[in-house]
Structure 1
Amino acid sequence: MAGCKDHDPRRPVRARPRAASAPALITHRWPADPEHITRAAQRLHQGAVIAFPTDTVYAVGARALDPSAVRRLYAVKRRSDQQPVVLLVSEPDQVRGWAVVGERAEALMTRFWPGPLTLVLPRRAGGPIVGAAGPTVAFRAPDNPVALQLLRAFGEPIASSSANRAGAPPPVDADGVFKSIEHEVDLILDGGPTVIGTPSTILDLSGDVPRVLRQGSLSEMELLGSS
């Protein structure tokens, strides 16, 4: 697995001094083995913000149903809480309590999940609200064994974004996470470099006509020609 040359991945890395009003964190870097993945899931339930690999880039995540943890996620990103986050899921069934899943969405999830496709769907009436309280919710099932094991151990969707500050390049390994959001997260699961290395394609299915909001490794022709 990838690791910093100067640090044992099992040892905590001490933070640089910060202002008294913002106590420094000690960010732990854990190997992405079953024991540490289970411990990371437990930490998420306790309100931790963690970084972990997906098939595209490294993600930073928090418990979607914990408003305090989600606020910390936004703070790590240095982004407005009016911008949406993506809910990572282990399987399509986890989407149904949060959003309205139509036939096109069903077909796309069947074909491209797990994989580098984020779907924006209409929020289900009375469903949970995470971050920005808009009419839609974004979902993805990542095709990465570490991410999927974490999601299954956690048992709920994880509110997520790429593990970088807003405007910076998304990291593709744990070293990149340290460089981008060093000591802003509680722990990093080091699962080595990601396979794809570019963000997912975002497809908005909330309206009458599907719209690609961000072009990733999947093309519009691949997506809309398949559904």
Structure 2
Amino acid sequence: MSKVIKIDNPEIYEQAADVIRDGGIIIYPTDTLYGFGVDARNDAAVEQLFAIKGRAGPWSIAVSNMEMLERYALLSKTDRSKVENYLPGPVTLILPFSDSDISSSIISERQTIGIRIPDYSFPRSLTEKLGFPITSTSVNRTGTPALNDPREIKSEFDDEFNLLIDAGVLPTSKGSTIIDLSGKTIQIVRD
């Protein structure tokens, strides 16, 4: 049975961390949408998410800070300053992947990875507590709009997740802006 906990509950970080460490699925608020979160290093958890979403990756990961980001992306000094201009914020950056323990299903065929540092405390604090990234993909089935109301999320996905962090109805959003910094020029993939 899926559990729902309010964002102001003092136990949210411990409960969410326990679910993630156990290979479970959380649904959490960000600065753009609710996201599905699993341990981005756990192949079995990522596969569960594929089944729910109805499609495979690549997907983005959420990290707590620049130090964690640099464990998963290759950055030159120039790239680092570009990244710092965008994050934290409602942006996903596509960067060259650094060889790490991330599930290979999340990485693109071009060996790039989408990374977010959301401008929202919950995912940043959770990944800081965990010491590793979680997936950051919208709460919807492929081909359907992202859900922003916890009641609708629970109705649609009940028994397919372990924990929903309820921050109320989030504003309607198309998701994060996606910027590809992996090539010679900056490309806006989604505005």
Task: Name 1:200's counterpart in structure 2.
Answer: 176
Q: Which amino acid aligns with 1:113?
A: L
2:18 counterpart of 1:42: yes
Measured in 1, the distance between the counterparts of 2:94 and 2:153 equals 26
**Cα deviation 1:64-101 (Å, max 9, x = unaligned):** 1111111111111111x2x3010101101112122111
TM-score, normalization by structure 1 = 0.76
Measured in 1, the distance between the counterparts of 2:75 and 2:154 equals 37
Match of 1:58 among 34, 40, 60: 34
> Higher Cα Rg: structure 1 or 2?
1
Task: Name 1:120's counterpart in structure 2.
Answer: 94
Higher alpha-carbon deviation: 130-139 or 191-200: 191-200
Measured in 2, the distance between the counterparts of 1:174 and 1:142 equals 19
Instruction: Tell me, yes or no, if the aligned pair for 2:60 and 2:106 is still in contact at 8 Å.
Output: no
- CA gap 1:127/1:153 in 2 versus in 1, 3 angstroms: closer
Higher alpha-carbon deviation: 95-104 or 115-124: 95-104
Q: Percent identity?
A: 31
Measured in 1, the distance between the counterparts of 2:120 and 2:171 equals 9
Measured in 2, the distance between the counterparts of 1:108 and 1:193 equals 32
Q: How far has the Cα of 1:196 moved from its partner?
A: 6.7
Q: Which amino acid aligns with 1:192?
A: G
Task: Name 1:70's counterpart in structure 2.
Answer: 46
Task: Name 2:6's counterpart in structure 1.
Answer: 31
Measured in 2, the distance between the counterparts of 1:46 and 1:76 equals 18
Q: Which amino acid aligns with 2:92?
A: T
Measured in 2, the distance between the counterparts of 1:160 and 1:111 equals 20
Measured in 2, the distance between the counterparts of 1:105 and 1:181 equals 38
- CA gap 1:207/1:70 in 2 versus in 1, 3 angstroms: same
Measured in 1, the distance between the counterparts of 2:83 and 2:156 equals 31
Task: Name 1:106's counterpart in structure 2.
Answer: 80
Measured in 2, the distance between the counterparts of 1:106 and 1:192 equals 34
**4+ residue runs of structure 1 moved beyond 4 angstroms?**
none
Measured in 1, the distance between the counterparts of 2:152 and 2:189 equals 25
Q: How far has the Cα of 1:28 moved from its partner?
A: 0.7
Q: Unpaired runs of 5+ in structure 1?
A: 1-25, 216-227
Measured in 1, the distance between the counterparts of 2:129 and 2:149 equals 22
- CA gap 1:171/1:54 in 2 versus in 1, 3 angstroms: same
Q: Unpaired runs of 5+ in structure 2?
A: none
- CA gap 1:146/1:206 in 2 versus in 1, 3 angstroms: same
Q: How far has the Cα of 1:116 moved from its partner?
A: 0.5
2:113 counterpart of 1:137: yes
> In structure 2, the residue corresponding to 1:29 is in which secondary structure?
strand
- CA gap 1:31/1:94 in 2 versus in 1, 3 angstroms: same
Say which structure, 1 or 2, has more relative contact order (CA 8 Å, 6+ apart): 2
